[in-house]
Structure 1
Amino acid sequence: MEKRYRLRKNLEFRKVYNNGKNFWNRNLVLYIRKNDLEETRLGLTITKKVGNAVVRNKIRRRLKEIYRLNLYRVKDGYDLIIIPKKNVVDISYKELESALIHILKISGMLKG
Protein backbone atom coordinates (compact mmCIF):
# COMPACT_ATOMS: atom_id res chain seq x y z
CA MET A 1 0.00 0.00 0.00
CA GLU A 2 1.35 3.40 -0.96
CA LYS A 3 2.36 5.86 1.76
CA ARG A 4 -0.31 8.37 0.74
CA TYR A 5 -2.97 5.81 1.68
CA ARG A 6 -1.64 5.26 5.23
CA LEU A 7 -2.01 6.99 8.56
CA ARG A 8 1.46 7.15 10.04
CA LYS A 9 1.76 9.82 12.72
CA ASN A 10 0.41 9.68 16.25
CA LEU A 11 -1.32 13.04 15.75
CA GLU A 12 -3.27 11.66 12.78
CA PHE A 13 -4.43 8.67 14.85
CA ARG A 14 -5.39 10.93 17.77
CA LYS A 15 -7.55 13.13 15.53
CA VAL A 16 -9.49 10.10 14.33
CA TYR A 17 -9.87 8.63 17.82
CA ASN A 18 -10.99 11.92 19.40
CA ASN A 19 -13.18 13.37 16.63
CA GLY A 20 -14.30 10.34 14.63
CA LYS A 21 -17.22 7.95 14.78
CA ASN A 22 -16.77 4.32 15.73
CA PHE A 23 -18.49 1.15 14.55
CA TRP A 24 -17.91 -2.45 15.55
CA ASN A 25 -18.87 -6.01 14.90
CA ARG A 26 -17.80 -9.31 16.43
CA ASN A 27 -14.28 -9.18 14.98
CA LEU A 28 -13.33 -5.55 14.27
CA VAL A 29 -13.67 -1.98 15.51
CA LEU A 30 -13.65 0.84 12.93
CA TYR A 31 -13.05 4.54 13.57
CA ILE A 32 -13.80 6.96 10.73
CA ARG A 33 -13.26 10.69 10.30
CA LYS A 34 -13.63 12.91 7.24
CA ASN A 35 -10.34 14.40 6.04
CA ASP A 36 -9.65 17.22 3.58
CA LEU A 37 -7.83 14.99 1.11
CA GLU A 38 -8.93 13.27 -2.08
CA GLU A 39 -7.97 9.79 -0.93
CA THR A 40 -8.97 7.61 1.98
CA ARG A 41 -6.16 6.70 4.37
CA LEU A 42 -5.95 3.58 6.52
CA GLY A 43 -4.39 3.01 9.92
CA LEU A 44 -4.15 -0.30 11.75
CA THR A 45 -3.81 -0.73 15.50
CA ILE A 46 -3.28 -4.21 16.93
CA THR A 47 -2.79 -4.63 20.66
CA LYS A 48 -0.43 -7.11 22.27
CA LYS A 49 -3.46 -8.90 23.71
CA VAL A 50 -4.11 -10.35 20.24
CA GLY A 51 -0.92 -12.39 20.19
CA ASN A 52 2.81 -12.26 19.69
CA ALA A 53 4.51 -10.23 16.94
CA VAL A 54 4.22 -12.99 14.35
CA VAL A 55 0.47 -13.29 14.85
CA ARG A 56 -0.07 -9.52 14.88
CA ASN A 57 1.92 -9.06 11.67
CA LYS A 58 -0.03 -11.85 9.97
CA ILE A 59 -3.31 -10.15 10.85
CA ARG A 60 -1.92 -6.78 9.76
CA ARG A 61 -0.83 -8.19 6.38
CA ARG A 62 -4.21 -9.83 5.83
CA LEU A 63 -6.15 -6.67 6.67
CA LYS A 64 -3.96 -4.53 4.41
CA GLU A 65 -4.43 -6.96 1.52
CA ILE A 66 -8.20 -7.15 2.01
CA TYR A 67 -8.37 -3.36 2.11
CA ARG A 68 -6.15 -3.04 -0.98
CA LEU A 69 -8.33 -5.41 -2.98
CA ASN A 70 -11.51 -3.54 -1.97
CA LEU A 71 -10.13 0.00 -2.10
CA TYR A 72 -12.18 0.82 -5.20
CA ARG A 73 -15.38 0.21 -3.19
CA VAL A 74 -14.50 2.63 -0.36
CA LYS A 75 -15.59 6.29 -0.40
CA ASP A 76 -12.87 8.91 -0.85
CA GLY A 77 -11.86 11.58 1.66
CA TYR A 78 -11.83 9.71 4.97
CA ASP A 79 -9.36 8.48 7.57
CA LEU A 80 -10.03 4.93 8.77
CA ILE A 81 -8.56 3.07 11.73
CA ILE A 82 -9.20 -0.65 12.02
CA ILE A 83 -8.69 -2.43 15.33
CA PRO A 84 -9.04 -6.23 15.32
CA LYS A 85 -10.40 -7.95 18.42
CA LYS A 86 -8.80 -10.97 20.12
CA ASN A 87 -10.90 -13.58 18.32
CA VAL A 88 -9.50 -12.54 14.90
CA VAL A 89 -6.63 -14.95 15.51
CA ASP A 90 -8.96 -17.93 15.11
CA ILE A 91 -10.81 -16.91 11.93
CA SER A 92 -9.97 -17.58 8.29
CA TYR A 93 -9.05 -15.07 5.60
CA LYS A 94 -12.54 -15.25 4.08
CA GLU A 95 -14.21 -14.62 7.44
CA LEU A 96 -11.90 -11.65 8.06
CA GLU A 97 -12.71 -10.27 4.61
CA SER A 98 -16.42 -10.68 5.29
CA ALA A 99 -16.06 -8.93 8.67
CA LEU A 100 -14.21 -5.97 7.13
CA ILE A 101 -16.73 -5.55 4.31
CA HIS A 102 -19.59 -5.83 6.83
CA ILE A 103 -18.17 -3.11 9.07
CA LEU A 104 -17.51 -0.84 6.09
CA LYS A 105 -21.10 -1.40 4.98
CA ILE A 106 -22.68 -0.57 8.36
CA SER A 107 -20.51 2.55 8.65
CA GLY A 108 -21.68 3.75 5.22
CA MET A 109 -18.16 3.77 3.78
CA LEU A 110 -18.94 1.63 0.72
CA LYS A 111 -19.85 3.33 -2.55
CA GLY A 112 -23.29 2.69 -4.00
Structure 2
Amino acid sequence: MNRLVWDKERRLLGSPQFTACYEHGRKRFTKRFILFVLRRDDGPSGLRLGLTVSRKMGNAVARNRIKRVVREYFRLHQYDFELPLDIVVVPKRNLEASQLTLALATEEFSPLLSRAKAEAAAS
Protein backbone atom coordinates (compact mmCIF):
# COMPACT_ATOMS: atom_id res chain seq x y z
CA MET A 1 0.00 0.00 0.00
CA ASN A 2 1.36 3.42 -0.98
CA ARG A 3 0.84 6.17 1.53
CA LEU A 4 0.25 9.61 0.10
CA VAL A 5 2.26 11.60 2.60
CA TRP A 6 5.26 13.80 2.00
CA ASP A 7 7.81 12.65 4.57
CA LYS A 8 10.77 14.65 5.79
CA GLU A 9 13.11 12.39 3.75
CA ARG A 10 11.41 13.73 0.63
CA ARG A 11 12.34 17.36 1.33
CA LEU A 12 15.45 19.39 0.71
CA LEU A 13 16.16 20.85 4.11
CA GLY A 14 19.55 22.49 4.19
CA SER A 15 21.21 25.26 2.28
CA PRO A 16 23.95 22.92 0.93
CA GLN A 17 21.30 20.74 -0.74
CA PHE A 18 19.73 23.77 -2.43
CA THR A 19 23.13 25.11 -3.48
CA ALA A 20 24.09 21.76 -5.02
CA CYS A 21 20.90 21.84 -7.11
CA TYR A 22 21.51 25.40 -8.23
CA GLU A 23 25.17 24.84 -9.13
CA HIS A 24 25.21 21.28 -10.50
CA GLY A 25 21.61 20.61 -11.50
CA ARG A 26 20.10 21.00 -14.94
CA LYS A 27 17.78 23.94 -15.46
CA ARG A 28 14.36 23.09 -16.85
CA PHE A 29 11.90 25.77 -17.89
CA THR A 30 8.14 25.75 -18.11
CA LYS A 31 5.86 28.67 -18.83
CA ARG A 32 5.51 29.59 -15.14
CA PHE A 33 8.34 27.76 -13.31
CA ILE A 34 12.07 27.11 -13.34
CA LEU A 35 13.17 23.72 -12.04
CA PHE A 36 16.69 22.83 -11.02
CA VAL A 37 17.01 19.04 -11.32
CA LEU A 38 19.98 17.16 -9.87
CA ARG A 39 20.37 13.39 -10.10
CA ARG A 40 21.60 11.80 -6.85
CA ASP A 41 23.87 8.77 -6.66
CA ASP A 42 23.47 8.12 -2.95
CA GLY A 43 20.79 8.38 -0.30
CA PRO A 44 17.13 7.43 -0.48
CA SER A 45 15.46 6.76 -3.80
CA GLY A 46 12.66 8.97 -4.99
CA LEU A 47 12.21 12.67 -5.47
CA ARG A 48 13.29 15.24 -2.91
CA LEU A 49 11.62 18.60 -3.32
CA GLY A 50 12.72 22.09 -2.41
CA LEU A 51 10.74 25.27 -2.98
CA THR A 52 12.03 28.82 -3.30
CA VAL A 53 9.24 31.39 -3.41
CA SER A 54 10.47 34.95 -2.98
CA ARG A 55 8.59 37.92 -1.59
CA LYS A 56 8.36 39.27 -5.12
CA MET A 57 5.63 36.69 -5.67
CA GLY A 58 3.30 38.49 -3.29
CA ASN A 59 2.23 38.46 0.31
CA ALA A 60 2.44 35.44 2.61
CA VAL A 61 -0.97 34.16 1.53
CA ALA A 62 0.07 34.13 -2.15
CA ARG A 63 3.46 32.54 -1.44
CA ASN A 64 1.93 29.84 0.75
CA ARG A 65 -0.69 29.04 -1.90
CA ILE A 66 2.04 28.49 -4.49
CA LYS A 67 3.94 26.21 -2.11
CA ARG A 68 0.80 24.26 -1.15
CA VAL A 69 -0.24 23.58 -4.74
CA VAL A 70 3.28 22.58 -5.87
CA ARG A 71 3.72 20.27 -2.86
CA GLU A 72 0.32 18.72 -3.53
CA TYR A 73 1.24 17.94 -7.14
CA PHE A 74 4.45 16.23 -6.08
CA ARG A 75 2.72 14.40 -3.22
CA LEU A 76 0.11 12.96 -5.57
CA HIS A 77 2.67 11.97 -8.22
CA GLN A 78 5.55 10.86 -6.01
CA TYR A 79 5.21 7.19 -7.00
CA ASP A 80 5.00 7.96 -10.72
CA PHE A 81 8.61 9.19 -10.68
CA GLU A 82 10.70 6.93 -8.46
CA LEU A 83 13.95 8.53 -9.56
CA PRO A 84 16.78 9.63 -7.27
CA LEU A 85 16.35 13.33 -8.07
CA ASP A 86 16.61 16.54 -6.09
CA ILE A 87 14.31 19.19 -7.52
CA VAL A 88 14.16 22.87 -6.57
CA VAL A 89 11.08 24.66 -7.92
CA VAL A 90 11.22 28.44 -8.43
CA PRO A 91 8.10 30.22 -9.72
CA LYS A 92 8.53 32.91 -12.38
CA ARG A 93 7.17 36.39 -11.84
CA ASN A 94 4.42 35.91 -14.42
CA LEU A 95 2.70 33.36 -12.14
CA GLU A 96 -0.47 34.65 -10.50
CA ALA A 97 -0.86 32.79 -7.22
CA SER A 98 -4.64 33.19 -7.22
CA GLN A 99 -4.89 31.40 -10.59
CA LEU A 100 -2.57 28.51 -9.71
CA THR A 101 -4.54 25.27 -9.45
CA LEU A 102 -3.59 21.63 -9.26
CA ALA A 103 -4.65 21.23 -12.90
CA LEU A 104 -2.29 24.03 -13.95
CA ALA A 105 0.55 22.50 -11.92
CA THR A 106 -0.09 19.14 -13.58
CA GLU A 107 -0.03 20.78 -16.99
CA GLU A 108 3.31 22.44 -16.16
CA PHE A 109 5.18 19.62 -14.40
CA SER A 110 3.98 16.33 -15.93
CA PRO A 111 5.61 16.70 -19.37
CA LEU A 112 8.83 17.88 -17.79
CA LEU A 113 9.04 14.99 -15.33
CA SER A 114 8.07 12.47 -17.99
CA ARG A 115 10.99 13.71 -20.08
CA ALA A 116 13.31 13.40 -17.05
CA LYS A 117 12.10 9.85 -16.51
CA ALA A 118 12.80 8.96 -20.16
CA GLU A 119 16.28 10.53 -19.98
CA ALA A 120 17.07 8.55 -16.82
CA ALA A 121 15.94 5.31 -18.45
CA ALA A 122 18.12 6.01 -21.48
CA SER A 123 21.27 6.59 -19.43
- Tell me if both proteins adopt one fold, taking TM over 0.5 as the criterion: yes
Within a 5 Å distance, the mapping from 1:28-107 to structure 2 comes to 28-35=33-40, 36-37=42-43, 38-89=45-96, 91-93=99-101, 94-106=103-115
Instruction: Using the aligned pairs only, state the percent identity.
Output: 28
In the alignment, structure 1 segments of 5+ residues that lack a partner are: none
Normalising by structure 1, we get a TM-score of 0.88
Give the superposed CA RMSD.
1.9
SS in structure 2 at match of 1:14: helix
The verdict on how the C-alpha distance between 1:63 and 1:103 changes in structure 2, with shifts beyond 3 A counting, is same
Greater relative contact order: 1 or 2 (C-alpha under 8 angstroms, separation 6 or more)?
1
Which consecutive aligned stretches of 4+ in structure 1 deviate over 4 angstroms post-superposition? Answer: none
Number of positions where the alignment pairs a residue of Structure 1 with one of Structure 2: 111
Structure 2, unmatched stretches of 5+, are 1-5
1: CA distance between counterparts of 2:47 and 2:82? 7
Q: Flag the structure with larger Rg.
A: 2
For 1:103 and 1:84, locate their aligned partners in 2 and report how far apart those are by CA, in whole Å.
Answer: 15
Conserved 8 A contact 1:28-1:103: no
